[in-house]
Amino acid sequence: MTRMIIPSTFLRRALLLDAVSCAALGLLMAVCAAPLGWWFHLPLPLLRESGLVLLAFAAVLGWACTRPQLPRLLVLGIVAGNALWAIDSVLLLLPAWIAPNGLGASFILVQAIATALIAELEYVGLKRSATAAMA
């Protein structure tokens, strides 16, 4: 049986922050991949496809923000997905993967740190959420 939670206000706000930031960054990366690729020396397919993934993730997060109850595993999956995104972003900077310029490396690191912080906020919000009563 799926364990449901009643999201705390803190969790709802963290999910909303995640949704808005994913939508904004995803739209920027998907629509402006060419100029961003030129400025940051990043591959266009990486930027465009990452942007599309972020837009899809933003839609899921937006939906989750509106639910009166959520599966605990869904929230843990969101936290884990954000943590993996942050880790993979840093690993992407290892030699032989991509070769961004300093501005591109900074862009990747800043969004990785922001994503890790949002994952932490969501985890704290999950711990503050109440377990839903079993019907």
Q: What is the pLDDT of residue 2?
A: 73
| Contacts with 116 (C-beta within 8 Å, 6 or more apart), sequence order | 82, 83, 86
User: pLDDT-based confidence at 129, cuts 50/70/90?
Assistant: very high
> Taking the domains of the chain in order of start, what are their residue ranges?
9-131
- What residues pair up with 123 in beta bridges, in sequence order? none
Segment 39-62, tens digit of pLDDT: 999 999 999 999 999 999 999 999
Residue 134 has pLDDT above 70, yes or no: no
Helix axes 72-92, 44-65, angle to 10 degrees: 160
Please tell me the distance from the alpha carbon of residue 45 to that of residue 135, in angstroms, as a whole number.
47
What confidence score (pLDDT) does residue 1 get? 60
Q: How far apart are CA 83 and CA 95, in angstroms?
A: 21
- Cα angle for residues 24, 26, 27 (degrees, 5° grid): 65
| pTM as predicted | 0.92
Distance CA 32, CA 28 (A): 5
